[in-house]
Amino acid sequence: MTYPQAALLFPLDAFYTEAGLALPPVEQVKGSDIPEPCRLLLVHDTDMTPTQEAFHGERIHLRVLARRRDGDAFSRQVVLTLNGTARPVEFGAIVIHLEHFPPAAREEVLEGRRPLGTILHDHRIAHQSRPLSFIRVTSDRIMNEALHLPESQALYGRRNVIRDGDGNELANIIEILPPTEERRGT
């Protein structure tokens, strides 16, 4: 399916709109057109947190840049960082549908200290990731600052939806990776 530009960056687009910023140039690409190792990190149907942890050989931490809540929809703009170096390994945004989470997991989501993938795993919430599209985006000032990039460049990412065992939408996510040179984990 082909998406319009704003939809390719959903839910990040809402944070840009709130800040009065134009969206960066983005285009939909085929998963097979994403260069390695980004393809390894993006083109799969599993959570990004454990995928990133396996690739880098370190735990992943969450840094929340912005958040908002509208009823049971909790949105946040985030950076995922490595435990040992605090190096950013992902920038993005997520809308989490709190009504489908048990109370303890819901509270952890709202605390904003751990990535959603870690919370889903630790609370044994059955779920499945389903990438909706893959993208190439030209990084802008926001992305460059979040990912510690010196200049604008082409980055790859995916739009992903996570559903529970009953088919309820748990989260809608845009996940954008910095340039990744080599496999760090075992």
Residue 184 belongs to some domain of the structure:
no
Mean pLDDT across the stretch 68-73?
95
Residue 186 belongs to some domain of the structure:
no
Q: How does residue 180 score in pLDDT terms, banded at 50, 70 and 90?
A: confident
Max intra-chain CA distance, the chain: 44
Residue 133 belongs to some domain of the structure:
yes
What confidence score (pLDDT) does residue 182 get?
A: 54
Map 116-173 to HEC letters: HHHHHHHCCCCEEEEEEEEEEEECCHHHHHHHCCCCCCEEEEEEEEEEECCCCEEEEE
Structural domain count, the chain: 1
Please say if the pLDDT value at position 113 is more than 50: yes
Q: Which of 14, 4, 29, 37 is nearest to 173 (CA)?
A: 14
What is residue 186's three-state secondary structure?
A: coil
What confidence score (pLDDT) does residue 7 get?
A: 85
Q: How does residue 18 score in pLDDT terms, banded at 50, 70 and 90?
A: very high
Q: How does residue 3 score in pLDDT terms, banded at 50, 70 and 90?
A: low
Please say if the pLDDT value at position 144 is more than 60: yes
Residue 182 belongs to some domain of the structure:
no
Domain extent for 79: 5-177
Tokens of 82: 């490595």
Residue 11 belongs to some domain of the structure:
yes
What confidence score (pLDDT) does residue 1 get?
A: 60
Supply the CATH number for residue 143's domain: 3.40.1410.10
The Cβ-side half-sphere exposure at 100, using a 13 Å CA radius, reads 19
What confidence score (pLDDT) does residue 4 get?
A: 60
Q: Which of 39, 81, 37, 92 is nearest to 59 (CA)?
A: 81
Please say if the pLDDT value at position 2 is more than 80: no
Q: How does residue 183 score in pLDDT terms, banded at 50, 70 and 90?
A: very low
Task: Kindly report the backbone phi and psi dihedral angles of residue 28, in degrees, each rounded to the nearest multiple of 5, phi listed first.
Answer: -80, 140
